[in-house]
Chain A
Amino acid sequence: MSKLVQALNSARVRGWLYQALFLSATVALGWYLVSNTLTNLGTRGVATGFGFLEREAGFEIGESLIAYAASDTYLKALVAGLLNTLTVSAAAVVLASILGVAIGVARLSSNWMVGRFAAVFVETVRNVPLLLQLVVWYTIMNRLPSPREAMEVLPHIFLSNRGLKFPVFVEHPGHGWAFLALILGIAAALAVVRYGRRHRETTGKPFPTLPVALAAVSLPPVAVFLVSGAPFAFDVPVLTGFNFEGGASVSPEFTALLIGLSVYTAGFIAEIVRSGILAVPHGQTEAGLALGLSPAHILRLVILPQALRVIVPPLTSQYLNLTKNSSLAVAIGYPDLVSVTNTSANQTGQVVEAVAMMMLVYLVISLLIAGFMNWYNQKLALVTR
């Protein structure tokens, strides 16, 4: 008896006991839910399993990166939806970062008026729900004039209620080679940057990294472009009858979603950038000046590395938020992953599989982005002994 009491008083035994209790409660709850679900599905006569992925979807998708028709499988429809989600998220991440950094810097401007403008922007977009902003952008897009009275925002770029029309290059094999040369150029530039840093650290002498790297990036593609005969033909959109012909276009749904996501997230990124820059004490700038560094060097070698350390972790959560927020596309009819999954679930009745797949895909995307940003953050982090 006393041994039992002794055992029960030991923290280790109790720890095991608690864990066993907690685990069995969790398993019991899970089992209860699963068995209920199976019974319910059975009485409703809904099929289970992922067999439906192989069946014909039978619904159209408004826009898709891959060739998709209603006669394709559900799996292909879901992939098309996923690609749409990734496209709009990637484009919005780039736009939001540019806009956010610009506004964050503007808010710190010594110019009172510029600072006020940025503050009003930030406080407006952050305090109105994203969904409301998206609905507003979409309504605006829908009530734009028809293609016949389209607005020419820039030469040959038209905005109408059918979306944005813009010219594209006429396809030519030279483009592919120039693109390849660009990738090689970027690789060469990265090597130059590494070499320049090593050169400076070993010899103490500066190396003209920036001009050499710029030349490495820009010269090869331009050379290839010229050698292949400079294929410089544009496919320009032209109004014929009721609609445009030629050029490329993006739908009003995509445009509204892209603008809405970018503007909303830019408000948050601006605040992150602002707090990151403010977190670097002024003494750092003064110390740089005392060492005789030029203002450009101080910004690049002293301020930015320290500011980035503060900026990157919250920036990661903003990129994640943006990707997750792109799921609001379902409200304005852009065929993203959620909207395609929703249609599939409604048609097949297999909601459990559909919702589980959707959550899993988002989870994987989130983990990938978080993993990449954690890796980047570790590279930036303070190296301590």
Chain B
Amino acid sequence: MSKDLSPPPSTVPPAGWAASYEEEPSQASTPPSPYGAQGGMTSLKPFGWAKDNLFNTKLNTVLTLACLAILWFAVPPVVSWVLLDATWLGTSEECRAGAGACWSIIVVKHRLIFFGTYPYDEQWRPFLACALFVAMLGVSGVRAFWRPGLAVAWALVLVGMGVLMWGGVLGLTHVPNDKWGGLPITLMLSVFSITLAFPLSILLALGRQSSLPAIRTICVGFIELMRGVPLVSVLFMASVMFPLFLPEGVTIDKLLRALAGLTLFTAAYLAEAVRGGLQAIPKGQYEAADALGLGYWQKTWLIILPQALRIVIPPIVNQFISCFKDTSLVTIVGLYDLLTAATVATTDPEWRPFFAEVYVFAGLLFWIFCFSMSRYSQWLERMANRYNRR
């Protein structure tokens, strides 16, 4: 039996994409309108549309009525809980008296949820760091900015973030990183781990494709080991075993250990995505490079990678999404990320009954990030396909 955990690439178009951790199904196979097969071609009037898409068969009529019944019973209570009966700025007593959601807990606790235990008076710094970061993320999504300058800008922004968070220079007070918490931890861990994992994953993927058996075996072994165990166990390993690995007297702090664990884990999954890209390059490209007399690294750097990496941009974005969600696991090894901060906010005895509001809020934050990125990756895939189809 093959030791390979990933599905055989030949069955998955385009090769190897299914190997990514939590893949989006390829949008290429989706027709323009997945719902309402008959929709849009008959009548534009609302009545005709409803007849075509909601009441075209007996079964569909029953289903539509059932859905409408669910909406009829579910929407009014939800709307009154979320909006009409909600308390927005009251005290916890007013919340207990009210029937709806208690959004005041978010108003009161938002600094704790966003920034954790960061010193209260200095919290403009993580705020600025996150704002810079999100702005940078937005800029990176625009194709017109995809040029070498972007990498320089990212380096500057990351240095700026580090200065803002750590302080100690430019008159900013020093804040040790065991005081950091909340959104900055989540954002920084996910971006740093994917950034550091990317070059490592290219090397791993190249190693896996290599013709040299020793190198191939070690790379396959590492990739399959990481993909075969849960992230929690890697994080445990990072938090309890890394200190043992280092020579006596050298310590490495908790945040960096978790980052190292996340990076190794992400690199294994990314390597499979990159391998998909490498395998999608026609053999003729390799042969043409050989015919030109290029050496291995010239061939890889000038011919193969530029084509392969363009193909794997959407799976990389998907990997980033799952990495972003996975950072929430660092709460298990005792780091203070967004989820930990939200959980801490719900343990205040005064506000204890209002856990739902906090989790809805934290879930919404995660959802906004992940959903926009997944939409972006689908758009990227459509662009790539349009480019290829011609």
Contact = CB atoms under 8 A, between A and B. Distances in A.
Interface of A: 15, 18-19, 22-23, 26, 33, 36-37, 39-41, 43, 107-117, 119, 123-124, 126-133, 135-136, 139, 143, 268, 271-272, 274-275, 278-279, 309-310, 312-314, 316-317, 320-321, 324-328, 330-331, 338, 342, 345, 351-352, 355, 358-359, 362-363, 366-367, 370-371, 374-375, 377, 381
B148 interface: no
Given A331-B331, A367-B5, A274 B25 contact: yes
B219 to A, nearest CB: 10
B363 A128 contact: yes
Interface in B23-50: 23-26, 29-31, 34-39
Interface residues of B, number: 81
B89 interface: no
A112 B57 CA distance: 12
A131 B35 contact: no
Interface string B363-374: 100110011001
Contacts of B35: 107-110, 112, 115-116, 119
A377 B11 contact: yes
A19 B244 contact: no
Interface in B8-25: 8, 11-12, 18-19, 21-25
B212 A18 contact: yes
Contacts of A130: 325
A111 B60 contact: yes
A129 B233 contact: no
Given A18-B212, A279-B29, A314-B18, A135 B359 contact: yes
Contacts of A363: 225, 228-229
A123 to B, nearest CB: 6
A130 B24 CA distance: 17
B53 A110 contact: yes
Interface of B: 1-8, 11-12, 18-19, 21-26, 29-31, 34-39, 53-54, 56-57, 60, 63-64, 67-68, 70, 211-215, 218, 225, 227-233, 236-237, 240-241, 243-248, 321, 325-326, 328-329, 331-332, 339, 342-343, 346, 355, 359, 362-363, 366-367, 370-371, 374
A358 B34 contact: no
Q: Is the interface of A mostly helix, strand, loop or mixed?
A: helix
B321 to A, nearest CB: 8
A124 B370 CA distance: 10
A328 B34 contact: no
6 contacts: A18-B215, A132-B362, A136-B359, A274-B25, A320-B5, A328-B332
A43 B248 contact: yes
A119 B35 CA distance: 10
